[in-house]
Structure 1
Amino acid sequence: MKLLIASDSHGLTEELIELKRRYGGEMDAMIHCGDSELRADEEAIRDFLTVRGNCDYERKFPLDITKEIGDSKIFVTHGHHYNVKMTLLNLSYKAKEVGADFVFFGHSHILGAELIENTLFLNPGSLLMPRGRTERTYAVVEKNGNTIRVSFYTDKHRELEDLRQEFSL
C-alpha cells in the first residue's frame, strides 16, 4: 500500500495539481487532511480523499473519513475536533473506536509520525505555512507486510532524508 498525505494547503492549487501529476498513478490513495479552502468540484482537490478543516466552508467534505485500503483501515480528520494541538489522546480514542491502523491529520501544521499501539499517527505538515520547520511538506507512507516507511517531502519534491522513518508492526 502506498499513500500520499497532504494538509493545510490554504488555497493553493498548482501544488496540489502537481502532486496529482507526479504521483497520481502510483498511489493507492491521495489524502488531504483539510484546510484546502477549495470547493469539492475544483480540479486541484478532485481525486483526493478530503476532510473539512476549520478553515474550510465546503460542506461536501466530511469531518472524518474511515476507509479500508488494501488490508488496512485508515482514519482521516483535520484534527481540530480532537484538540490535536494539545494532545493525541482524543484522537487515539477515536482510532481505537474505529479500529484504525493509520490516522492522518493536520491542523497544527507541524509534521510528525508516531506509532502508538501499532497505529501510525501522521501529520504531513503544511504545504503553505509550516510550523516547527521552514520547509513546506507532504508525506508518503508505504506499507509492505509488517513494515511501514514514512517519508516527508518538500513542496519541491525533495525528500527530507533525516526525517525518514521505518516502523515494524
Structure 2
Amino acid sequence: MKAFIISDSHGLESELEKVIHRHREEVDILIHCGDSELEEGHSALKGVNVVKGNCDFGSDFPDDLFEKVQGVGIYVTHGHLYNVKMTHVPLSYRAEEKAAQIACFGHSHVAGAFVENGVIYINPGSIRLPRNREEKTYCICEYHKTKATVTYYDYDGKIVTDMVYHFEVN
C-alpha cells in the first residue's frame, strides 16, 4: 500500500495540483490532512481524501475519516480537535478506537513520523508554512506486511534525506 499525504497548503492551488499530479499515478490513496482552505470540489483536490482543518471555514469536509487500503487502516484528521500541538495522547486514543495502522494529521506544520503502540503517526508538514525546518514538505508512506517507510519530499519533489523513516510494524 502506498499513500500520498499532504497538509496545511493554506490556499495554494496550482502548487497543490502540481505536487499531487507528480505522484497521483504511483499511489493507492491521496490524503490531505486539512487546512487546504479550498472548497469541496476544487480541481486541486480531485480524487483526494480531505478532512476539515481549523482554517477550512464553511467547508463540507469531514472532521476525520477512516479508509482501508489494501487491508491497511488509515485514520486521518487535522489534529486541532485533538490538541496535537501539545500532546499526541488524545489522537492515539482515537487511532486505537478506529483500529488504525496509520494515523495522519497536520495542524502543527511540523513534519515527522513515529510509532507508538504499533500505530504509525505521520505529520507531513506544510507546503506553505513549514515549522522547525526550511523545507516545504509532504510525504509518501509505503506499507508492506511488517515494514513501513515514510519518505518526505520537498516542494520540488526531492527527497529530504534526513527524513526517511523505516518502521517495523505488526
TM above 0.5, one fold? yes
Aligned length: 169
Shift of 1:15: 1.8
Distance 2:131 2:20 in 1: 24
Distance 2:40 2:85 in 1: 26
- The residue that corresponds to 1:93 in the other structure is 93
CA deviation vs aligned residue, 1:33-87 (integer Å, no higher than 9, x gap): 0000000111011211000000002432000001111111110000000000000
Distance 2:45 2:58 in 1: 12
* Poorly superposed stretches of 4+, deviation over 6 Å: none
Q: Give 5+ residue unaligned stretches, structure 1.
A: none
- The residue that corresponds to 1:160 in the other structure is 160
Distance 1:47 1:58 in 2: 20
What pairs with 1:40-51 in structure 2 (closer than 5 Å)? Answer: 40-51=40-51
- The residue that corresponds to 2:133 in the other structure is 133
Q: TM-score, normalised by structure 2?
A: 0.97
Distance 1:66 1:74 in 2: 6
Q: Give 5+ residue unaligned stretches, structure 2.
A: none
CA RMSD of aligned residues (A): 0.8
Distance 1:41 1:78 in 2: 19
What is the SS of the residue equivalent to 1:3? strand
What is the SS of the residue equivalent to 1:163? strand
Q: Which moved more, 1:34-43 or 1:51-60?
A: 51-60
Shift of 1:31: 0.3
Retained in 2: the 8 A contact 1:40–1:58?
A: no
Distance 2:70 2:87 in 1: 29
Q: TM-score, normalised by structure 1?
A: 0.97
Retained in 2: the 8 A contact 1:36–1:56?
A: yes
